[in-house]
Structure 1
Amino acid sequence: MPIRFACPKCSQKLSVSSRKAGSEAVCPRCKTTIAIPAEEAPAAAPASAQVATTTTNTTTADAEEGFPQYLVFDDHELVYEHDEEHHDEQSAAGQPEYIAIPRWTLYAQGGLLLGVGLICFLLGILMGSSLLSTPAAPRAAEACLITGKITVKISGQTLPDAGAVVMIVPESTANIDERIPVSGLRPDDPLPARDQRGLSILRSIGGGFARCDENGSYAIELPDRGKYYVLVISSDIASGAASIPKTEDILKIRSYFDLPVDLLGKNRYRWTLETVRGNRSYSTSFP
């Protein structure tokens, strides 16, 4: 069991094996030769420095005062368990609760954090500028005039298709709430009034209607550029297979008109998708 006492010169708290009682040793701090007190007869401390000693029956309170700070083994003089001047370095290098890392590692970590912070700062500026930027104003509508001439071959002669119908509807059907009634829009129907229901719906979705004059000419004004379907219905009745509308055309035309078969009848027709980028001419000839 150890004997705990203090150096009479420097008051350093020491600990030594009880088997060294009565012998001499050198204080590891001040290098003074001191007598190790007996186990049951602790040495008195000088007036300048109070020496505390303990035996194998040392109380827990004495142990908490710090006597175990230095340790003397049976085969050694008084030695330090840790040198006070280098205590921090030994703790970091030898104790498991400390981790020793090179200084350059700290610098590298600091540089990495600085780089990440700079990148986040720049991204914040870019995102902020994009959020604060004024959105581009929507493109203004540009009215377009579509003109052309419709002809038909009859008995080997190309003649103006007077009375032929030309209708133009936008490719998108998003604005269509009601299919267009076909009454008044067929070639054989009387010319519809301007406020006729079918014409009103046709204009409301951005389309147009025209009936060719005696020269086969027509003109339709569209409210804007874009893609449009152009439906031309000849005043001439087709014969044979040409009088039967194509199924795919019927299905597509039905998206706009309530009775596509009744609209086309047996007349020759043409259904095409056209791109309108401004005023343009669209003419067609039925064989």
Structure 2
Amino acid sequence: MSTTRASHKVSFGPSRTIRLGLRRIAFEVRAYFRQGDSVFFTFLFPVLFLFIFAVAFSSSTFGPPTDEVTAAGYYLPAMLAAGLLLSGTQLLAIDIAMERSDGTLKRLGGMPLSPVSYFIGKLGQVLVTGVFQAALLLVIAAVFFGVALPTDPERWLTFTWVFLLGAITCGVLGIALSALPRSGRSATAVVIPIVLVLQFISGVFIPFDTLPEWLQNFAGIFPLKWIAQGMRSVFLPEVFADAEPGGSWQHPETLIALLIWLVVGLILARLTFRWIRKDG
């Protein structure tokens, strides 16, 4: 039996790996939307917070008088960035830790399925749900709160590469982070505080320019700060760039930072992922 199983894995070529990965995407998306708690705390959570910020600060505006924006317009890019972190890093880290704990990964490891196909399924889920989530946020912001969306194609091009690179990076880091919890039970307690702290220091809940300089520099180590800054460059007037570190949107630095974290995440995922824990 073990010889046959090993021969199946060795015979995997790129086309078969990709084909199985694409099948896993459909499975993962269906499974995701069947989990009410995951849908609420990852898919709908940014939508809920956009409502809260828009209503709580409905009488406030942000920016200079000539280019001021409403609270909904100001927090829209932050919620788009937070959505990628929640749907990518938080969800995958907890989900994979749970699957390892309840024996799902062990069963998958006994099937003719390579880890790469499994990763494709998880990352595809992040991209698909992320697109739906971003579309929902944009529609709500525009329809319910009157946020004027960009009309410049260049801004939408920036949105596309920041979104895609941010989603894949957050997903890969989620896979890597899933090795940290020692059990499915502890996954939530381990992962959520990390994600929550990153949101507070990366300009999601608190305007980034109001944070102490040392905390801004510390946040700049992590990818969420760059995703949020990239999203602000898409949806906020150009004058808001003056409040960013260096007085610009720093697109080249954003691209480099996200690519570095993507490579780091891939290396960590490759080194730490196991169908079962070694000490299990």
TM-score for both structures, normalised by structure 2 = 0.19
**Structure with more relative contact order (C-alpha pairs < 8 Å, separation 6 or more):** 2
Pick the structure with more helix per residue: 2
Structure with higher Rg: it is 1
TM-score for both structures, normalised by structure 1 = 0.19
